[in-house]
Amino acid sequence: MLIYRILIGLISPFILLKLFKLGRGYPDYSVIKALGFNQAPVQADIWIHCASVGEVLAARPLVKSWRERHPSAKVLITTMTPTGAEQVTASFGEAVIHRYIPVDWGCSVKRFLKGIDCPRLLIIETELWPNLLKQVKKKGMALYVVNARLSDRSFKKYAKFARFSKELMSLPDCIYAHHNADAKRFEALGAKEVLVTGNIKFDLKVNPQVIHDNWQQYFVNNEFVWIAASTHEGEDIPLLDEHLVLKAQHPNAVLIIVPRHPQRFEQVYQQASAKFENVGLRSEAPMEDWHKLDVLVGDSMGEMMNYFQASDLAFVGGSLIERGGHNPIEPALLSKPVLVGNHTFNFQEITENLVLSGGGLRCKNAELVGNLLLAFAKDKALVAETGAAAYEYALSNQGAVERVLDSIRS
């Protein structure tokens, strides 16, 4: 831990600079809060920490099931980022309490924890901050890591610092791992109790409001609609180019493109506008005119399931470049065929099994994405068959949330 404290001290100026930049445009966020100041005390029955948007989305079925079991319980959710905070509001409204977790400096963590009165902390995925974990245990709280995964690449990095890793991994009371391979890696690093519970992201229930809203109705006259979800820089332009090829054969096809990070909304809108005549922003284009567009840029938070519902097929971004991909389960739960690139190490086993199930297809480059778009656009039966396989795969893997909560209760 000493080496960690020295290292985090050395990089403090860079952390502060990043936090300052992060807070621009978000009046609710400030460096002061990131240092553990200016946050009201909280009494809660359960504290769930989610680093950012992805973890908040993953936690939704967990929060829902906990509140069904404990209707009067107070739930605290912490995030590190303003976008994560926005997603908390979008997902739960006033049903939960939100706070910003401070940077992992000992003094900041201690200051923050003084205002927290809660018996247990659940950390979503492998967001293991040493000072936070150590201070939480000193405070006498139960500590759990939920939806934990550890790739072989990350395991090898931890293994280089065996003493540090053993001290860190021994702090949680229990680690709930995705798969046996993850569990074995955590155990090898020194975790004292690991249970294989599966992936809570499979337990996501499609909000009935999404079906009621039925954004698909706005594209009823379009032959084919596809979504490029959670795209990163380096993916948008190649995918826009493939949409040009698609539209040469299917003129009224529509692409819904949703950048992963809000700060890129305008950039992607400009890129699309340079290639297509009719480009609209979700925030500006009237829904009744969406069918007239070539490209709809999804510049909104918390509406990804609506975008998926409106589409015939989904490409999941972060996978044509080495970002590791994003969650393919959401489109699968809406019976959409799922395309991914070669780089899916963040969801490696899930993606591989989705492909094996017949519900997903892997594309080594954007050109292959384009070829598959053409194949699906002219074959509605193929769309339905592949989408049904994706749905069956997602449904067959549910149950992780109940296994986690049953273990915590016992």
Q: Which residues are catalytic?
A: 55
Q: Which residues, 6+ apart, have CB-to-CB distance to 395 below 8 Å? A: 333
Taking Cα atoms as reference points, which of 127, 121, 119, 140 lies closest to residue 84? 127
Among residues 174, 105, 165, the alpha carbon closest in space to that of 135 is found at 105
Instruction: Give the separation between CA 220 and CA 216, rounded to whole angstroms.
Output: 7
Instruction: Please give the C-alpha separations between residue 303 and each of 201, 213, 349, 355, 383, in angstroms, as whole numbers.
Output: 17, 11, 26, 25, 23
From first CA to last CA, the distance across the chain in angstroms is: 32
DSSP letter assigned to residue 220: T
Give the three-class secondary structure for 257: strand
- How many other CB atoms sit within 10 Å of the CB of residue 48? 25
Residues 7, 11: Cα–Cα separation, whole Å = 6
- Considering only CA atoms, which of 238, 199, 236, 198 is closest in space to residue 327? 199
Amino acid at the residue 14: F
| Residue 79 near residue 58, CB atoms below 8 Å | no
Q: Is 103 helix (H, G, I), strand (E, B) or coil?
A: coil
- Cβ(405)–Cβ(64) below 8 Å: no
Q: What angle do CA 240, 311, 246 make, to 5 degrees?
A: 35
180/194 Cα distance (integer angstroms): 10
Encoding tokens for residue 326? 């994003």
Listed in sequence order, the DSSP H helices in 70-205 are: 82-92, 106-113, 130-138, 152-159, 162-169, 180-189
Residue 192's closest CA among 175, 211, 209, 217?
175
Interaxial angle between packed helices 162-169 and 180-189, expressed in degrees from 0 to 180 and rounded to the nearest 10: 110
